[in-house]
Structure 1
Amino acid sequence: MSRRAGYEESWDLTYLVEQLRELISRDLQLDEALAEELEDTLARLVLRNQRLRGLQRMVNAERDAEDLEILRNALERTDRELLAGLPALLERLREAHA
């Protein structure tokens, strides 16, 4: 992706998502609240991926800088939310596996 977009993917987020992927591949016994939290997090990850792809397409199409900034800000906000919530979710999933 071009540097003009001003966005760098978070290695911390990538690491947490890999941990999540590993945990959900196991046989987990989830209560309703944890299942809903997991579903919400997965939906936010899908939204994040869509925003990232949209940003890449916009950069490749050399779109207006203001449009790029709006999408980049939305992507960064989603990343911050995921970075804040994923550690607690991962811990709860680990407890559900134990």
Structure 2
Amino acid sequence: MPRRAGYEESWELTYRVEQLRELVGQELRLDAGLAEELDDTLARLVMRNQRLRALHRMMSAEREPEDLVMHRAALEDLDRQLLQDLPGLLERLRATLL
């Protein structure tokens, strides 16, 4: 069931992003590398949000199924990348609070 898996991934991503939001709201002592990684991750999250909105607009406009599949695949790929990268980033950000 791909839909169910996508839902679970979305929940996991939401959970990780909420953790990131909480950490960013605190005073972090970031070195240049970690600051750059955080900026990159935030930019990818903004891109993800834009792609998700575009997909919703395309669905409402009843676009061709092939177009929807292509955009959905790009969004799912970005989600997988974020889910892979976020745990390590969160761990390194938490370490700056100690």
Question: What TM-score, normalized to structure 2?
Answer: 0.91
CA deviation after TM superposition for structure 1 residue 72, in Å:
0.2
Whole-Å separation in 1 of the counterparts to 2:24 and 2:47: 19
CA deviation after TM superposition for structure 1 residue 85, in Å:
0.3
Larger relative helix fraction: 2
Whole-Å separation in 1 of the counterparts to 2:46 and 2:93: 19
4+ runs deviating over 6 angstroms: none
Residue 44 of structure 1 corresponds to 44
CA deviation after TM superposition for structure 1 residue 97, in Å:
1.3
Question: What TM-score, normalized to structure 1?
Answer: 0.91
CA deviation after TM superposition for structure 1 residue 52, in Å:
0.2
Residue 29 of structure 1 corresponds to 29
Ranges in structure 1 where 5+ consecutive residues have no aligned partner: none
CA deviation after TM superposition for structure 1 residue 10, in Å:
0.9
Residue identity matched to 2:86: L
The question of 1:66 aligning with 2:66 is answered yes
Ranges in structure 2 where 5+ consecutive residues have no aligned partner: none
Q: How many residues align?
A: 93
Using the aligned pairs only, state the percent identity.
65
CA deviation after TM superposition for structure 1 residue 39, in Å:
0.3
CA deviation after TM superposition for structure 1 residue 11, in Å:
0.2
